[in-house]
Structure 1
C-alpha cells in the first residue's frame, strides 16, 4: 500500500533536487469533484519513481504520466488537469530542477570574479586548483565547493554531465589542455566547455586533440578562446565576457546586441508617420 506524502516529505524531495539531486515534480490536489481525490493530497514524481498517492491507482498513473511530461518538456509550475475513470482532478504541478553546475578549473585572477558572477546567476559553483594557497574558502566564499585535485586527474570525484558548464582558466596552457582532453574523451559532454587562451594556442590545442582522435563535432563544441567579444582586458572584464557567454549557452541567446536585433530606432526613424517636430 502506497502511503500518503506529508508536506515535510514533499519539501525534502524538492530541496534534494535543488541541491543537485534528480529533478522532481511536486503535485498537490487543488480540485477534485465528487471526492475523486482528497484535497491537498500530494505526490512527488521523478523520471524513474514516485512517492505518495492521490488515493486511486488510476489517478496516480495519470498524474505520473503528466508529471513526467512536465519534466521532459521543461514545463513551468502551474495547474494541470488529469482524468481517470471519468473523474477529473486539477493538480498544481511544481517542477524542481537542480541548478546548473559551473566548474571553474583554476583559481587565479579571472576565477575569483567569475565565481562571484556565477553564483549571482544561479550556478552552483565548484572551483578546482592544485595550489592550497589559491584554492581556499576565503578566496571563493560564494563557491559551493573548493577543491585541490591533482591536475593530472582534475575531475576525480567531480560530476561532469549535461548540466555542467566547464571553464578552464588554469595558470598554464598545459593544464587547460589536459583538462580539455580529459572531458572531450568522456561519453557525455558538458553543456558548455570553454578554454582561455590566445588564437595561436587554441589552434595548437585543437590540432593536437584532432591527432588524438577527437572528432570534429566535439571540437566545434569547445568555446575557445573563451567569452564574448566585449573588448575585455582586466580579470573582472574577462569574467563578465565569460559569464555572458555562459548565459547565452544556458538560455539560447545569440550574443548579438539587442539594438541590432530589435532595430527599434531604425524602424522609428524610417516611419512615415514620425512627428519630426516633436521635442
Structure 2
C-alpha cells in the first residue's frame, strides 16, 4: 500500500532537487470530484518513480503521466487537470530542479556583464580566473561562486555536467584553447560550450583539436566564434549577444528577428496599398 506523502517529505524532495538531485514535480490536490481524494493530498514524481498517493490508483497513474510530461517539457508551475474513470481532479504541479550552471572562464571586461545578465536569466553563475585581483566578489557580486583557477587545469574541483553552460572568455586565446580541449575530452559534454575569438583563431583551434583526435560531432558542438551576429562591439553588447545564444541553446528558436518569423506586416498589409 502506498503511503500518504507528508509536507515535510515533499519539502525534503524539493530541496534535494534544487541542490542538484534529480528533478521532481510536486503535486498537491486543489479540488476533486471524489470526496475520498482530499484537498492537500500530495505526490512527488520523478522521471522514473513516484512517492505518495492521491488515494486512488487510477488517479495516481494519470497524475504521474501528467507530471512526467511537465518534466519532459520543462513546463512551468501551475494548476493541471487529470481525469480517470470519470473522476476529475485539479492539481497544482510545481517542478523543482537545480538552476542551470553558467561557468565563465575568465574574469575580464566581458565576464562582468556576462555574469550580471546570466544571473538575471536564472543561471547559477561561477566565475573562474587565475588572477586574484580579478576573481573577486566585489567584481562579481551576482555570482554564486568566484574561484581562483589554474588554466592548465581550469575545472579542478568543479563538476561539468549536461546542465552546464560554459563560456570561455579568458585574457588569452591559449587559455581558452586549453579549457576547450579539457572539456571536449570529458565523457559528458556541457549543454553549451562557447569560445570567444576571431574566425582565424577559431579555425586554428578546431584544426588542432581535430589533430588531437576530437571527433567531428564534438567539434560541431562548439559555439565559436561565440554569440549571435548583432555586430556587437562593447563588452556589454558582446555579453548580450552571448546570452542571447545561451537562451537559444536552452529554449530553442530560430535566432531570427520575430518580425521575419511571424511576418505580421506582410499578412496585414495588402499588396498595392
Count of residue correspondences:
272
When structure 1 is superposed on structure 2, of 13-22 and 129-138 the one drifting more is 13-22
Cα distance in 1, alignment partners of residues 266 and 87 from structure 2: 56
In the superposition, the TM-score normalised over structure 1's length comes to 0.86
Cα distance in 2, alignment partners of residues 265 and 31 from structure 1: 45
Matching of residue 80 in structure 1 with residue 85 in structure 2 = no
In the superposition, the TM-score normalised over structure 2's length comes to 0.88
Q: Provide, for residues 211-259 of structure 1, a one-character-per-residue CA deviation record: whole Å limited to 9, x for no partner.
A: 1111112111111111122222221121111111112222212222223
Using a 3 Å threshold, how does the CA distance of structure 1 residues 82 and 93 change in structure 2: closer, same or farther? farther
Q: Provide, for residues 131-188 of structure 1, a one-character-per-residue CA deviation record: whole Å limited to 9, x for no partner.
A: 2221111111101111113222222232222221110001111111111111112222
Partner residue, 2:23: 23
Partner residue, 2:187: 187
The aligned runs of 1:137-176 (5 Å cut-off) are: 137-176=137-176
Q: Give yes or no for contact 2:62–2:82 (8 Å, CA) kept in 1.
A: no
Using a 3 Å threshold, how does the CA distance of structure 1 residues 59 and 260 change in structure 2: closer, same or farther? closer
The aligned runs of 1:1-279 (5 Å cut-off) are: 3-56=3-56, 59-76=59-76, 77-83=78-84, 89-272=89-272, 274=273
Q: Provide, for residues 5-35 of structure 1, a one-character-per-residue CA deviation record: whole Å limited to 9, x for no partner.
A: 3334434433443444321111112334343
**Displacement of 1:123 after TM fit?**
1.1
Note the residue ranges of structure 2 that are not aligned, 5 or more in a row: none
Find the residue that maps to 1:35 and give its secondary structure: coil
Q: Give yes or no for contact 1:66–1:82 (8 Å, CA) kept in 2.
A: no
Q: Provide, for residues 78-119 of structure 1, a one-character-per-residue CA deviation record: whole Å limited to 9, x for no partner.
A: 3131437x8654433222232221110111111011000101
> Would you identify which runs of 4 or more consecutive aligned residues in structure 1 move more than 6 Å?
none
Question: RMSD between aligned alpha carbons?
Answer: 2.5
